[in-house]
Structure 1
Amino acid sequence: MENDNHQPGAAPSLAAAQQLLEDVFGYKSFRFGQADIIQQVLAGGDTQVLLPTGGGKSLCYQLPALLLPGLTLVISPLVSLMDDQVSALKELGISAAAIHSGMQSVEVMNTLRGIQEGNIKLLYLSPERVLQTHFLERLQGLHISLIAIDEAHCISQWGHDFRPEYGQLGVLRNWLPGVPILALTATADAVTRTDIAERLHLQNPHLVQGSFDRPNIRYVVQEKYRNKPQVVDYVKTQSGASGIIYCGSRKRTEEIAERLVRAGVKAAAYHAGLPHEIRQSTLYRFLRDDLHVVVATVAFGMGINKPNVRYVMHYDLPRSIEAYYQETGRAGRDGAPAEAIMFYEPNDARWVRRMLNEQDDSPQVAVERQKFHAMSLFAEAQTCRRLVLLNYFNEFRDKPCMNCDLCLNPPQQYDGTVDAQKALSCVYRTGQQFGVQHVVDVLRGSKQQKIKDYQHDQLSTWGLGKDKKQEYWISVLRQLIHRGLLVQDIRFHSALRLTEEARPVLRGEVALTLAKPRLEAISSEQHVEARGQHDKALFRRLRKLRKELAEEHELAPYMVFSDATLQEMALLLPTTPSQMLAVSGVGKIKFERYGYDFIHEVIQYLDSSHA
């Protein structure tokens, strides 16, 4: 079936795209890969794009859409992504629309009329909508210039987020054979990339692959000691910053959100079991910075166009490095400093492994086991976490990043023989029938009734480690488990049992080196927003002004200016129109709308500082 209206002509120039980049979007130059991708798209070729979250993938179809004569289709997996991007584009004066299940029929009809009349340049669609036969027939009568498929890893059965309806998008090539396809994703290994190209029937696709590195994100892994209180402590240090906390269960999202609210944090839970109206309200409030933290299951945030998320926390271990990378990538999309913090409990990993091992063998399960094993190795790494992450994606480097917990504070080794003997002896004397917490309570001389009931307060090891914190002994015991001196018997409530390797240590025949337990999260500055050379007090004032202007115009604050743009203002201190237009992210349209308000705020701040 031919799409007769798609007639190749003289391709628009890259120079024209460059001009639009500056005038409309306010950026002075292309990021890595963007010029190459846009040139390929404008020439009418199929393109496969692998760029990190925050790497500027959306501009790779938004700019060509403005230059090409017809309509650009953007296929996206989430309603929230479509609505966010349509709102942001309209704020820039670009005619964009979406059609999805959350819309009223009258809205859909108005959008279809606008498409028919040629008044819309970008149309965002869900895969379910675009695959309907009657809709495909309607598209055949239109001038379609480009099909952009976002989150393209969802197409592949080997990807970490396979969606069957995405896997059917290859039919678009049959219905619209003359239209170039642009497939974009942040995470796809070689097997997944090949599968995407085959399923979409891409013709000699031009591959543009960027670095997986997100240098502005600091990776931190901290052992779980006090579980939920640790979460509250961290969030309170980030007062007012936007954050996402990922949990493995719906119940846990609600428990942590409730605890945060009790601690005075503007937080809410988000999961598929909540009513649609509550989910929509939570998302709306989060995008507008009325809500600082969303505690969610992993589906939340995919494609959300909120560039000022300053931290992403994983309360539970993700199932794959791809999922971890995708989720942590939702932090710092504006390029400003951000943090990815994960709480790790070895027992959690053992539980997931057991669940995977109990499943019937299949190629899919084998892939899941392999991916989870790699994730566990990342969590337990003793070398630069960024190198582990990049090496997984075959981006081999050998220089430490100096922006992860292990680079900023390398594990310190010490002679842990005496600590190990105390811990192992306590396990032995309690009968090898109790878990980590009970052994720690005995070591620290707890007077709980349970300890007295078992007469464990009469043991020689009772109170032997009372000079150290609970978290200290938990770390020691976990290291002994890692080293194979102890095992946890999952058949008996994870009771600790000694192995043969423990005997020579107990008898003092061998010395044992352990890592000094680290009881606090590693961070050179406690607040993520405190990083950088900009004037922090001015940044706070500019952020307050942004919030006021956003409310006045009924927008999400980032649609006015991103955190990165505000930080550059707080660094360059622009007091004239030409100086303000030199700030990255300030284009002509936004300058006319908001530029003078921010110039006035900078001048006022400078005057008050010099007074």
Structure 2
Amino acid sequence: MLVTPESAITEDFMTFLNRQRLCHRLDRIVIDECHVVLNDQTNFRPAIAQLGRLLMAQAQMIYLTATLPPTAENQLFQRLRTSREKVHLFRARTHRMNVAYRLWQPTVPNQYANSYDWVEDPNIVRFIRDRITRARAQAGRVVIYGLTTKTVDKLAKGFECEAYHSHTIDRHSVLARFQADPIGVVAATSALGMGVDIPNIRSIIHIGLPRSLLDYAQESGRASRDGLRSEAIIIQPHGFLRPKWDPIHKDPVKAQAEQSRLDRYISQDCRRVILDEYLDSYQRQYCGESDNTEQRCDRCDEHWQANEEVASELAHQLGSEPARQLGSEPARQLGSEPARQLGSELG
């Protein structure tokens, strides 16, 4: 039986569980993506924080997640109303060797007064179009993440793709159409961050910094579940900061801690150093340190930024107008040749 958190914590469902237990028909309860219990963003689903009530059913509990930092284990057990001593814990490293983590910080004019309006800048439009062309050349899909529904709607309109967020009327149909299109593009909020297992998403693009490093790990983890090469890019222009009104946490101390982690991710010499340290308590110095097949981040790939400049200039020379033409057949037919000229696979 599958049940939502909102239904799972109701008195009616607890009564149902008790009846199943008394009839010896309740074997265990599984909470998938259990790390979301720790999410205390101001606009997040409050029922999830109450899932610890399910312990009252007196059944075996199984908690599953691939996105739980070791430093958050005890807090998770507390939220679930258990303790470390009562849990058999099995961990494996969560790093994604096939994902190239990148941060692109272009310089854009100060004319964009409203939050994230800089996504309309021609250079950024060309850059995103280039990533889509490269992904399609590899028969792959693209997800473009925005922090707000307004930004996502703007992206969907500009790049002629569908929007996926909390206000989308039929998210199931949007996701189904995206899954059916082998070179599809979708603009989304973090609502598309969990439970999506599509094998050939070759590029994950974040418009602005994500709310937290944990959210970024979850969302970038949608890339290339088939194990092939992919990229996860954050676009954050110089001089444009996260809007102060954008809620991160109810607790200002936690909000500051999240911001500090993101600051380290931006400033660190290697992106993987911060991700692996936070998600797995794994210490390293650079990409490919123990395996040269591991995809390099932008800091460890000395040629990446130059390649992006060439890509943007080539797209401009090819007459790439802003994103309203993105979904047209000519745009698709730019195809794999530019991608091959600019470097192997996703460059």
> Where on the TM-score scale, by shorter chain, does this alignment land: which range?
0.7 to 0.9
Corresponding position: 1:230 with 2:124: no
Aligned ranges for residues 199-598 of structure 1 at < 5 Å? 199-202=79-82, 204-225=86-107, 226-239=123-136, 240-261=139-160, 267-274=161-168, 276-277=169-170, 279-289=171-181, 292-349=184-241, 351-352=242-243, 354-355=244-245, 364-381=251-268, 383-393=269-279, 394-401=281-288, 403-409=296-302, 525=343, 527-528=345-346
Are the structure 2 counterparts of residues 304 and 403 from structure 1 closer, same or farther at C-alpha, using a change threshold of 3 Å?
Answer: same
Cα distance change, pair 370–218 in 1 and its aligned pair in 2 (3 A) = same
Q: Is the 8 A contact 2:144 2:204 kept in 1?
A: yes
Residue aligned with 2:89, SS:
strand
Rate the CA distance shift 1:157–1:311 in 2: closer, same or farther, 3 A: closer
Taking a change above 3 Å as real, the CA distance of residues 409 and 154 of structure 1, as seen in their structure-2 partners, is: same
Kindly indicate whether structure 1 or structure 2 has the higher relative contact order, using CA contacts under 8 Å at least 6 residues apart. Answer: 2
Q: Measure how far apart 1:160 and its partner are.
A: 10
Q: What amino acid sits opposite 1:527 in the alignment?
A: E
Alpha-carbon separation, structure 2, partners of 1:285 and 1:184: 28
Assess, with a 3 A threshold, how the Cα gap between structure 1 residues 126 and 216 changes in structure 2: closer, same or farther. same
* C-alpha distance 346-355 of structure 1, shift in aligned 2 (>3 A): farther
Structure number, greater radius of gyration: 1
Alignment equivalent of 1:185, drawn from 65, 68, 73? 65
Pair 166,398 (structure 1): closer, same or farther in 2 beyond 3 Å: same
Amino acid at match of 1:136: M
- 2:36 is aligned with 1:137: no
Q: CA deviation at 1:191?
A: 5.0
Is residue 140–residue 183 contact of structure 2 (8 Å, CA) maintained in 1? no
SS where residue 214 of structure 2 aligns?
helix
* Residue 182 (structure 1) shift: 1.0
Q: Which runs of 5+ in 2 are unaligned?
A: 108-122, 289-294, 314-338
Cα separation, 1, equivalents of 2:286 and 2:104:
23
Give me the whole-angstrom Cα distance separating, in 1, the residues matched to 2:43 and 2:301: 33
Question: What do residues 304-358 of structure 1 show as CA deviations (whole Å, max 9, x unaligned)?
Answer: 2323322211111112211111110111223222211111223233x44x557xx
Question: What's the offset of the Cα at 1:249?
Answer: 2.5
Rounded to whole Å, the distance in 2 between the matches of 1:257 and 1:392 is 32
Whether the aligned pair in 2 keeps the contact of 1:156 and 1:162 (CA below 8 Å) is no
User: Aligned in 2, Cα 1:370/1:280: closer, same or farther, shift over 3 Å?
Assistant: same
CA contact (8 A) 1:155 1:163 kept: no
Structure 1: distance between partners of 2:30 and 2:205: 30
Task: Give the CA deviation at 1:199.
Answer: 2.8
For the aligned residues, what is the CA RMSD?
Answer: 3.2
Judge conservation of contact 2:270–2:285 (CA < 8 Å) in 1. Answer: no
Quick one: distance in 1 between partners of 2:278 and 2:12?
Answer: 43
Structure 1 residues 201 and 373: alpha-carbon distance in aligned structure 2, compared to 1, 3 A threshold: closer
Quote the Cα distance in structure 2 between the aligned partners of 1:156 and 1:286.
29
Contact 1:242 1:293 in 2 (8 A): yes
Tell me the SS of whatever aligns to 2:262.
helix
1:436 maps to: none
* TM-score normalised by L of structure 1: 0.43
The alpha-carbon distance between structure 1 residues 252 and 169, as it changes in their structure 2 partners (threshold 3 A), is closer
**Identity of matched residues, %:** 28
Alpha carbons 2:272, 2:287 under 8 Å: kept: yes
CA contact under 8 A between 1:160 and 1:323: conserved in structure 2?
no
- Distance in 2, Cα, partners of 1:158 & 1:133: 23
The residue identity in structure 1 corresponding to 2:132 is: V
Aligned residues: 286
Structure 2 CA distance, aligned partners of 1:372 and 1:323?
Answer: 12
Q: Distance in 1 between matches of 2:253 and 2:245?
A: 13
Asked whether the equivalents of residues 210 and 216 of structure 2 are also in contact (C-alpha less than 8 Å), the reply is yes
